[in-house]
Amino acid sequence: KEHAGKIEDMILTLNNLFTTVLPGPGWKLEKE
């Protein structure tokens, strides 16, 4: 479970980077 938590944390960090580089709303709409 600890590894999964770390992976989720990394994913959230990557998502934050993507939303910073790419248009936030556009990225979220495309992802959803």
pLDDT per residue rounded down to tens, the chain (32 residues):
567 789 999 999 988 887 776 665 655 555 55
pTM comes to 0.45
pLDDT of residue 8: 92
**Spans of all domains in the chain:** 2-31
Handedness of CA 25, 27, 28, 32 (dihedral sign): positive
3-class secondary structure, 32: coil
Q: How far apart are CA 3 and CA 25, in angstroms?
A: 29
Number of helices and strands in the chain (H, E): 2, 0
Amino acid at 25: P
